[in-house]
Structure 1
């Protein structure tokens, strides 16, 4: 169950969006991602959610957890939100392919995760 406030709520929001993203993109090939606007838009939206939740965490908290690429996460969110014509679909694909699963693993120890929520 999602906490009501504070850092854990933001971490939970990040994890929830990342898990949803992994579920949606499971089995989707690079070619399908590149040619299917629905997958691209879903991925971009969930990455925005991850970045927004990360942005809301205090700088001090982020500094205490340097194994998470906070600046990259927030930076990608800013590009997705503010620079519509500049979205690099290949960068988003690399993030999906290499970073999202790792993010979930790094977030899990920071929050109270229900084993059924995976």
Structure 2
């Protein structure tokens, strides 16, 4: 699904990307250590797939309207946009510990906010 029209659709896209991230972590049993120190072709490929998921999340979340962002001040929106730029433009120098922290500690709050945005858009 390519979401481009409403915050509800964009938030749904974020939710799908977060879900995909979590599914990959679980399906491939990726640990923090493997993600941070990917040193063989398998773990590098898995780490890269999580980085792509994080890019998808930050790309769509950063496009949510200012109104939706103001309604969810618990989310560090500028940080999301900054991470998106970091992932997209400085890919080779990404600090994976920052990304792992975002995926494991920040994505759950973003997921809750996006669920609310979707719910509000359905009313």
What is the TM-score of this pair, normalised by structure 1?
A: 0.81
Structure 1 range deviating more: 16-25 or 47-56: 47-56
Q: Does structure 2 retain, via aligned residues, the 8 Å contact 1:22–1:100?
A: no
How do 1:1-118 and structure 2 match up within 5 A? 5-26=5-26, 27-33=29-35, 34-35=37-38, 36-112=43-119
Shift in Å, 1:5: 2.8
Equivalent pairs counted in the alignment come to: 112
Structure 1 range deviating more: 102-111 or 6-15: 102-111
Provide structure 1 residue ranges, at least 5 long, that are not aligned to the other structure.
113-118
Provide structure 2 residue ranges, at least 5 long, that are not aligned to the other structure.
none
Alignment partners' CA distance in 2, 1:55 and 1:42: 20
Cα RMSD over matched residues? 2.1
Alignment partners' CA distance in 1, 2:3 and 2:89: 29
